[in-house]
Amino acid sequence: MDLQQPRDGAAGRALERRRRRQFYFPAVLFVFALDAGCAAHAVQGNVPPSPVSPSPQLGQSEPEVWCAADKLPPLEVAHGVGGSLSSLSERFREAHQRARAKQCTVLATQQLMIRYSFGTLEARWKGVELGRRADLYTPRLHAIKAVSHAVFLAALLFEEPAGPDRESHLQDALRDMSALRTDLTDSKTDAAKAFLPDERSDQIAILTLTSKALEGFRKGQLDQTGRRDYFVSIRRPLRENLRRASVAVLTAVHEAVSAYKKEVDAKDSTAWASLVVLASVSHQGRARDIVVQYFERLLGETVSEGASLENRLVILEGQAKPAAQRAVLAGHNVDRQFAEVIFGDPGRLQWDVMGDSGGFLDSLLPIKKTPK
């Protein structure tokens, strides 16, 4: 199935990731701070009654918010800026909140969106969830990770200070590795069934080499050279495991996305071209996240500096709550719309509004020329 679609006009309506962080605005929250991210503050929403946030019935608790749109806090007050200055900023915050709430409703009732968040995938179109929520972290992936963790475990144990605690930790690790190695040699065990027959040899090699290194370390027979040799010897099977894990995730995401596309195409053959993807990743794993790479290929986009060149693929870091994740999309719509109006550049609020110092940074710290 060909999932790719060209980017154009309305189909490519950009919803760019906002790189907004509170420390960019140390004093007054001024009008060009349209990018003062709702995701940084919005945990519980305050959206008008709509599919986004239905009104609770008498005696019921407040419903879970689908897309957050809280008003931003008056940061300038904490920095001693009050009075009419603060009042004007308050009017801005109220208007910005209303605009984000409107966009939340659009996302909830009209947008075709896939949300990827820490191993899970879900899709929504015109207010209806598509298919099922997919778990990309399959049992096979966890099995591969479990064996691969042995190498990182060894590296950590090598750095622990000598003493009873380290001895206990080493014994625990050696015991568990021995038990797993035994399980992998028996094709009837759950551990062995988690791998293809021709993959088990790599798993056993990782555990055997690691156990040997840890046992030598425990006996004081593994010096720095020995540790280095161990890590060199383990790299090939470890890299193969990491590639297997990548294949497992890509297989799961492609199957899920293909199912979403099939369902949407059956209802509207033109809808897929409007797809927007919201991907939430960890800071450590952002670079070359395999699922993000998949959606780059799917949408024909390239993740680059911050949100400045992101269009239909919006990347988040460290935002775990779904309502706040969706709020970023709403905020991106607002910021892009009004950046076009104010600056004539829809991407101008996708990077720090103070990112252009007019050359002042160069006067403070001139760029050093690399000797030829």
Q: Quote the pLDDT of residue 305.
A: 56
Closest by CA position to 14, among listed 310, 370, 241:
310
Rounded Cα gap, residues 134 and 242, in angstroms: 21
32, with CB counted inside 10 A (0-12, 13-18, 19+), is: middle
Structure tokens at 70: 């809280």
Q: Quote the pLDDT of residue 343.
A: 72
pLDDT in tens, the chain (372 residues): 545 443 443 333 333 333 333 322 222 222 222 233 333 333 233 333 344 444 444 444 555 688 888 888 888 898 999 899 999 999 999 999 999 899 888 888 888 999 998 889 999 999 899 988 999 888 888 999 999 999 999 999 999 999 999 999 999 999 999 999 999 999 999 999 999 999 999 999 999 999 999 999 999 999 999 999 999 999 999 999 989 988 888 999 999 999 999 999 999 999 999 999 988 876 555 567 888 888 888 888 877 655 555 667 877 776 667 887 788 778 777 887 778 777 788 777 776 667 777 787 788 778 887 766
Rounded Cα gap, residues 213 and 222, in angstroms: 7
Q: Quote the pLDDT of residue 357.
A: 79
Classified as helix, coil or strand, 280 is strand
Rounded Cα gap, residues 87 and 236, in angstroms: 62
Residue 155's identity, in one-letter code, is: A
Rounded Cα gap, residues 294 and 296, in angstroms: 5
Q: Quote the pLDDT of residue 314.
A: 79
Q: Quote the pLDDT of residue 45.
A: 35
Structure tokens at 235: 């790299």
Give the H or E element holding residue 284: none
Classified as helix, coil or strand, 320 is coil
Name residue 279's beta-bridge partners.
116, 315
Q: Quote the pLDDT of residue 62.
A: 52
Q: Quote the pLDDT of residue 193.
A: 94
Closest by CA position to 296, among listed 253, 331, 347, 328:
253
pTM of the full structure: 0.69
Q: Quote the pLDDT of residue 110.
A: 87
CB under 8 Å, gap of 24 or more: what pairs does 229-238 form? 230/154, 231/151, 231/155, 233/209, 234/151, 234/206, 234/209, 234/210, 237/202, 237/203, 237/205, 237/206, 238/148, 238/151, 238/206
Q: Quote the pLDDT of residue 179.
A: 97
Rounded Cα gap, residues 214 and 114, in angstroms: 44
